[in-house]
């Protein structure tokens, strides 16, 4: 059975891409393994509408020792079901450099390679602050330069230079809304750079979770998100507000609050890197919106 690894830093567009990729693979039987770094499995909820078997691994990267056993357990379950294809979406903060070694013990699996989503606008920002961004690009046989519809020509060129700096052998295709064409897969192959040394220390992830009151208005929530955006890499959550249900989908300064028809848990997950003033920003938000926001968890996680 074929195995595809999907990577990309926080907010690069992996979930939208996955929907397109699954349609491309149809009608093959697909087993999806979704790795969500935050405790709340946001991406899994969005993908349940697809006709695929879905397993989620939350609260850590599948390539970290803390969740590796769970990944291997889930992978064994997938193999037992004998799908045609196993597609694994790694956390945006995952270091996948040992993927070939990890899969080598499974004779049933044919590792096809890694597809990495890169945000044409945000890549320079994350590339210079997160070592894992380099590593995700280094293992990729195919890099999709996403969101090119909103990127300026100079931004796309700068992103291309960084991709080739991390992986001179990568095949790059420009796209928008995570679209993929079938003939691009012919360029996909396990990268020769995938076993590169992991000598550089990854970012320390700051992770916080806020509980949002049902009485908060959409405009108030949007204003709050904009205030927090400069101190975070990523914010995500399904929220029931006074004006209706919404999906908060924020990458850096790009803040979106989209109408949502599914379940909500009113928890907002915030992710930031070492040195970013996340705690200060949250403290300020809690003082301004003390009737509407409650801190649930604040944590740091290496790798």
The pLDDT value recorded for residue 97 is 83
CATH architecture of 2-187: 3-Layer(aba) Sandwich (3.40)
What is the rounded CA–CA span in Å between residue 127 and residue 199?
A: 16
Does domain 204-302 match CATH 3.40.640? no
DSSP 203: P
What pLDDT is stored for residue 63 in this prediction? 66
Q: What is the mean pLDDT of residues 128-155?
A: 91
Model confidence pLDDT, tens digit, residues 79-114: 999 999 999 998 887 888 888 888 988 999 999 999
H helix or E strand, kind and range, residue 32: strand 30-36
Q: Model confidence at 8, in pLDDT bands (50, 70, 90)?
A: very high
Which ranges in 88-148 belong to alpha helices (H)? 99-103, 123-127, 131-139
pLDDT digits (tens, 9 = 90+) for 12-27: 999 889 989 998 998 8
pLDDT, average across residues 137-148: 94
User: What is the rounded CA–CA span in Å between residue 162 and residue 148?
Assistant: 15
Where do the domains of the chain lie? 2-187, 204-302
């Amino acid at each position: 059975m074929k195995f595809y690894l999907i990577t990309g830093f926080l907010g690069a567009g992996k979930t939208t891409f996955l929907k397109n990729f699954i349609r491309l693979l149809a009608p093959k039987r697909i087993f999806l393994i979704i790795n969500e770094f935050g405790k709340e499995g946001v991406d899994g909820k969005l993908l349940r509408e697809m006709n695929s078997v879905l397993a989620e691994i939350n609260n850590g990267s599948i390539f970290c020792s803390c969740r590796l056993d769970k990944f291997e357990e889930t992978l064994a379950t997938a193999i037992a079901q004998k799908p045609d294809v196993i597609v694994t979406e790694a956390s945006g903060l995952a270091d996948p450099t040992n993927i070939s070694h990890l899969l080598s013990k499974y004779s049933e699996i044919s590792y096809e390679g890694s597809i990495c989503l890169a945000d044409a606008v945000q890549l320079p920002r994350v590339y210079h602050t997160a070592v894992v961004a380099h590593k995700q690009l280094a293992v990729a046989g195919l890099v999709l330069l996403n969101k090119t519809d909103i990127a300026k020509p100079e931004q796309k060129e700068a992103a291309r230079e960084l991709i080739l700096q991390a992986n001179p052998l990568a095949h790059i295709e420009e796209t928008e809304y995570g679209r993929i064409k079938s003939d691009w897969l012919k360029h996909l192959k396990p990268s020769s750079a995938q076993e590169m040394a992991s000598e550089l220390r990854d970012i320390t992830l700051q992770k916080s979770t806020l509980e949002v009151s049902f009485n908060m208005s959409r405009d108030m929530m949007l204003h709050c998100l904009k205030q927090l955006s400069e101190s975070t890499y990523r914010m995500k959550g399904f929220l029931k507000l006074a004006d209706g249900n919404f999906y908060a989908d924020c990458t850096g300064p790009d803040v979106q609050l989209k109408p949502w028809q599914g379940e909500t848990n009113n928890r907002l997950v915030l992710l930031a890197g070492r040195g970013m003033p996340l705690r200060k920003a949250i403290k300020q938000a809690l003082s301004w919106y003390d009737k509407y926001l409650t801190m649930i968890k604040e944590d740091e996680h290496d790798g």
